[in-house]
């Protein structure tokens, strides 16, 4: 069964450092998402991406964040200068079509710890 993969599974970084979280969506999917979940809190939408551009982003997704699909398979989330409050699980998701019954498939997540 096709699946979304994410690397690394756990990333530890110092405050102020840049991190890049990587995702490989399901190969024929067209819509890509990043979500995050701070420990003990709900899953929050960060950004959606379609046709090589951002289609929607949340208030959380400020200038410190960026996404790209550099090579047609990977989908990356970059945080330019990490803060302590960026510590969270980051989930990538992909979806084939934007239909009401279409499932978003989630990757296993990257746990980001900012020290």
Interface residue list for another protein (CB under 8 A): 31, 33, 35, 41-45, 48, 50, 55-56, 58, 89, 91, 93, 95, 98, 100-101, 103-104, 106-109, 111
CB of 91 to another protein, least distance (A): 5
Nearer to another protein, 22 or 45 (CB): 45
CB of 90 to another protein, least distance (A): 10
Beta bridge pairs of residue 65 = 79
CB of 85 to another protein, least distance (A): 19
Nearer to another protein, 32 or 79 (CB): 32
Q: Do β-strands 110-114 and 10-13 pair in parallel, antiparallel, or remain unpaired?
A: parallel
Whether the Cβ atoms of residue 35 and residue 42 lie closer than 8 Å to each other = no
In angstroms, the CA 115 to CA 57 distance is 26
Nearer to another protein, 19 or 91 (CB): 91
Q: What is the DSSP string of 70-99?
A: TTSS-EEEEESS--GGG-EEEEEEEES---
């Amino acid at each position: 069964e096709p699946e979304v993969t994410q690397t690394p599974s756990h990333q530890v970084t110092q405050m102020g450092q840049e991190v890049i979280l990587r995702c490989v969506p399901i190969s024929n999917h067209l819509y890509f998402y990043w979500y995050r979940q701070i420990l003990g809190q709900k899953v929050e939408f960060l950004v959606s991406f379609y046709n090589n551009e951002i289609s929607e982003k949340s208030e959380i997704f400020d200038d410190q964040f960026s996404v790209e699909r550099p090579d047609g398979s990977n989908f990356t989330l970059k945080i330019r200068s990490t803060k302590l409050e960026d510590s969270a699980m980051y989930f990538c998701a992909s979806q084939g079509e934007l239909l009401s019954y279409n499932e978003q498939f989630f990757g296993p997540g990257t746990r980001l710890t900012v020290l």
